[in-house]
Structure 1
């Protein structure tokens, strides 16, 4: 029998792996999404890979036997992770949907949207913190100088452009997930929520709870899209105002207005609008996938429909929805 090469002995040897750091907390769950092994910790999510996945021909003996890659530095304790990815993982179970629905792809996209939302949140926080810093500096210095200087971002439109591009990208990822489940609607990942609403309204009636929910999102989603287009293409439908000095010596905070015919918005504080973007996006994602799963699953003994999980029965504190079956006292929540 031919002796094994040193690289073969190394790759096939037993071993241990430390995933992440102590600051990430404990490993809560390890789950397969397609061919990927995802490690969910209390404060982070990693992808775990074996050396043979990267180097299947075994050409590099110096490659570590296992490798882990940080996906997001938030984990099971995070409301963002729970209401987006962990909710999707709870609902998107392969055995509950027809083979035509690519559940693994939907889960992959649900994982991919996490860093997008986290970066969006970071950009918005940076804008709000910068505004506060400029205001504090103005208040501290306005009576100390002979000249009169008002605060200014300088790059306010660039910051807004980055934020709305990221928000619009999150909608595109959600739309791609929607196309996986509603194959018959003729939607594409370039479709948008107004078109999706019209399709759902036609399919299930205007009075259907899903139709009513989607209708409630349209004003917000149209504005996100309109702002994104306006900043990307320098359209005159949006006006952005940095700090402004008034005749009475008051200084107005940064604001903007939108003049798009389908998504008008009167002039208002930029930070007030930005502050609701991430909470709204999370709410829309969470409820869309819950309604969508309830409409497209295959009924069985283990799945009677999607229900809200009572708080005392939740596996994860922020995961509100799962499939329910009339088994035992109070039924069974498939988490």
Structure 2
């Protein structure tokens, strides 16, 4: 019998791996997303893969037998992680849908959407910290009666452009996810959330909860889209104003306004408007995903439906929805 060569012995031998650090918390679960193995910890998410996935012909003996890569510095404890990827992972279980539904792609897109949301949150937080810092410096100069200079964030419009590009991209990914479950319903990136609303109204009726949900999202999503379009193309419909000195000596903090034919936003402080973007996106994503799961999952195997999980029964604090089956006292929440 031919003896294995050294690289085979190395790759085939048993072993163990410490994923991440103790500060990341414990490993809660591992999720297959296509060929990727995603490791979810309390405070981080990693990708874990074996050497054979990189060197399938086994030519490099020096390659470590297993490799890990941090994907996100937030884990299951994060509200954003839980309300996006973990919610998608809970609801998008392949055995609950027809084989024609590409669950692998839906989960991959959900992971991408999480990345966009985390970057969006960081961009917004960076701006808010900058505004706070500049304002504090102005107040300090004012108290010391130094030379008069109003505060300024000279790249405020560029920052807004980045923020609304990210927000708009999140909507595009959500449309891609919906298209996986409704491939022949005319959903498209041009009409965006309107196309989901029209599809829902056509298939389920205007009074259906799915239709009512999407109808509630339209104004906000239009606002985001037109903000992005205006900033991208330097249209007069969007106006971002830096700190501004008023005739009464008061200073307005940076503001944004939109005057589009279909949607408008009266001049509003960025510090008031920007913080609502991420919470709105989270609400829209988790509820759209919940309605899609409820509508498109197979019903013939067992009586089950998507329900909100009572807080005391949640596996993850911020994952609100899962499939519920009327088994046992109170039913079974499939988390």
With the length of structure 1 as denominator, give the TM-score of the two structures: 0.97
2:207 — aligned with what? 207
Q: Counterparts of 1:308 and 1:234 in 2: how far apart (Å)?
A: 43
Contact 1:306 1:323 in 2 (8 A): yes
How many angstroms does 1:313 deviate by?
1.5
How many angstroms does 1:3 deviate by?
3.1
1:69 — aligned with what? 69
1:49 — aligned with what? 49
How many angstroms does 1:143 deviate by?
4.2
How many angstroms does 1:5 deviate by?
2.1
Instruction: Identify if the C-alpha distance between structure 1 residues 268 and 142 changes in structure 2 by more than 3 Å, giving closer, same or farther.
Output: same
Q: Counterparts of 1:53 and 1:169 in 2: how far apart (Å)?
A: 31
1:136 — aligned with what? 136
How many angstroms does 1:33 deviate by?
1.8
1:218 — aligned with what? 218
SS at match of 2:306: strand
1:95 — aligned with what? 95
1:31 — aligned with what? 31
SS at match of 1:40: strand
Check if 1:14 corresponds to 2:39.
no
Q: What do residues 24-49 of structure 1 show as CA deviations (whole Å, max 9, x unaligned)?
A: 00000112122211111111111110
Q: Counterparts of 1:290 and 1:233 in 2: how far apart (Å)?
A: 35
Q: Counterparts of 1:70 and 1:174 in 2: how far apart (Å)?
A: 24
Q: Counterparts of 2:10 and 2:300 in 1: how far apart (Å)?
A: 46
Q: Counterparts of 1:200 and 1:94 in 2: how far apart (Å)?
A: 23
Instruction: Identify if the C-alpha distance between structure 1 residues 146 and 10 changes in structure 2 by more than 3 Å, giving closer, same or farther.
Output: closer
2:253 — aligned with what? 253
Check if 1:285 corresponds to 2:285.
yes
How many angstroms does 1:301 deviate by?
4.6
In terms of mean alpha carbon deviation, does 123-132 or 79-88 score higher?
79-88
In terms of mean alpha carbon deviation, does 135-144 or 215-224 score higher?
135-144
SS at match of 2:121: helix
Contact 1:185 1:199 in 2 (8 A): yes
Q: Counterparts of 1:280 and 1:159 in 2: how far apart (Å)?
A: 20
Question: Within 5 A, what are the aligned runs for 1:221-300?
Answer: 221-300=221-300
Contact 1:301 1:325 in 2 (8 A): no
- Alignment root-mean-square deviation, CA: 1.3
SS at match of 1:142: helix
1:195 — aligned with what? 195
Q: What do residues 120-168 of structure 1 show as CA deviations (whole Å, max 9, x unaligned)?
A: 0000001111101011000000243553100000101110011111111
How many angstroms does 1:112 deviate by?
1.6
Q: Counterparts of 2:239 and 2:111 in 1: how far apart (Å)?
A: 35
Instruction: Identify if the C-alpha distance between structure 1 residues 12 and 190 changes in structure 2 by more than 3 Å, giving closer, same or farther.
Output: farther
Q: Counterparts of 1:302 and 1:203 in 2: how far apart (Å)?
A: 23
SS at match of 1:184: coil
Instruction: Identify if the C-alpha distance between structure 1 residues 191 and 70 changes in structure 2 by more than 3 Å, giving closer, same or farther.
Output: farther
How many angstroms does 1:195 deviate by?
2.2
How many angstroms does 1:300 deviate by?
4.0
How many angstroms does 1:198 deviate by?
1.6
Q: Counterparts of 2:16 and 2:284 in 1: how far apart (Å)?
A: 41
Question: Within 5 A, what are the aligned runs for 1:130-169?
Answer: 130-145=130-145, 147-169=147-169
Contact 2:188 2:195 in 1 (8 A): no
SS at match of 2:167: helix
